Structure 1
Amino acid sequence: MSLSNVFGIAGSGMSAQTIRLNTTASNLANAESVSSSLEETYRARKTVFSVRSPEPEQIRDNADGLQPGQGVQVLGVVESDAELRQEYSPDHPMADENGYVYYPNVNVVEEMADMISASRSFQINAEMMNTAKQMLQQTLRLGQ
């Protein structure tokens, strides 16, 4: 694995964390949205990550079986199966015929923790790219 692979790995991490941050922002924006039916109610979404498959030229036999330099990929965004909040509020303008309104299954505390984690992961990947850049610059200075 060369030092230049670090940029691809860190870049894939930054892209994945950007999608995670966007998903979290969407969840937070819709946390208190109200609906008059279960089918129309917003459901919390989560990103699903996976190890990026290595390129054929990167595959090597290692004693521990691990392949370096793979990075991360986003497999998709899935909706939560958690139960939606149902509240009896017959005076609410969005209440259904039984007097219920429905709220999303978004846990604001969990979403804030996800936001902090994604933000920190993005920052770490950016610092890793900066460190790799500095190391490459130091390598080039050695030849002078």
Structure 2
Amino acid sequence: MGDLFTSLSLAASGMRSQAIRLRHVSENIANADTPGYHRKTVAFTPDPDSGVVSAGPVQLDRSELTRIYDPGHPMADETGHYDGSNVDLVIEIADAREAQRSYEANLRMFDQARQMTTGLFELLRR
């Protein structure tokens, strides 16, 4: 019985972590055109004892920002350039799709464990 509840806990932690990841991906997409914006990433840290996964601290991608030439932009320097963001929409969409699929896999696992728990309770009631 404990294994069923453990699997529910593991699946719930996976869904929670992927939801956090998806929130940061959507922030990145929303700020893709914001000057000086650094892409946010989040790493997952598993608990070695229980296997529960949690989202670690948010980290900023420190890769170089794109230099954009627009002399009329208020943030442009004397050469007419300003720093854009380092968000690559193709990468963000791929990360969003991966987070979605991981979330769905954890949801299916959660649902299966819930159905097994319900079936077990039905057997115990008889």
TM-score by structure 1 length? 0.79
Structure 2 CA distance for aligned equivalents of residues 134 and 87 of structure 1: 54
Consecutive unaligned residues in structure 1, runs of 5 or more: 35-40, 55-68
The answer on 1:79 being equivalent to 2:99 is no
Q: Using the TM superposition, give the Cα deviation of residue 79 of structure 1 relative to its aligned residue in structure 2, in angstroms.
A: 0.6
Higher-Rg structure is 1
Q: Give the length in aligned residue pairs.
A: 124
Q: SS where residue 3 of structure 1 aligns?
A: helix
Deviations 1:66-104 (A, max 9, x none): xxx412112211111211000222122332233112210
Name the SS for the 2:95 alignment partner.
helix
- Select the residue among 91, 94, 112 that pairs with 1:131: 112
Helix, strand or coil at the partner of 2:82: strand
* Corresponding residue of 1:47: 42
Residues 63-78 of structure 1: pairs in structure 2 closer than 5 A:
69-78=50-59
Counterpart secondary structure, 1:95:
coil
Q: Residue in 2 aligned with 1:58?
A: none
SS of the residue corresponding to residue 73 of structure 2 reads: coil
RMSD: 1.4
CA distance in 1 between counterparts of 2:74 and 2:113 reads: 57
Superposition misfits of 4+ residues, deviation over 3 angstroms:
none
Aligned equivalent of 1:92, options 73, 81, 88: 73
1:5 shift after superposition:
0.6
The share of aligned pairs that are identical, in percent, is 35
Distance in 2, matches of 1:6 and 1:15, equals 14
Please list the CA deviations of residues 91-128 of structure 1 after superposition, one character each: whole Å capped at 9, or x if unmatched: 22332233112210001000000001111111111111
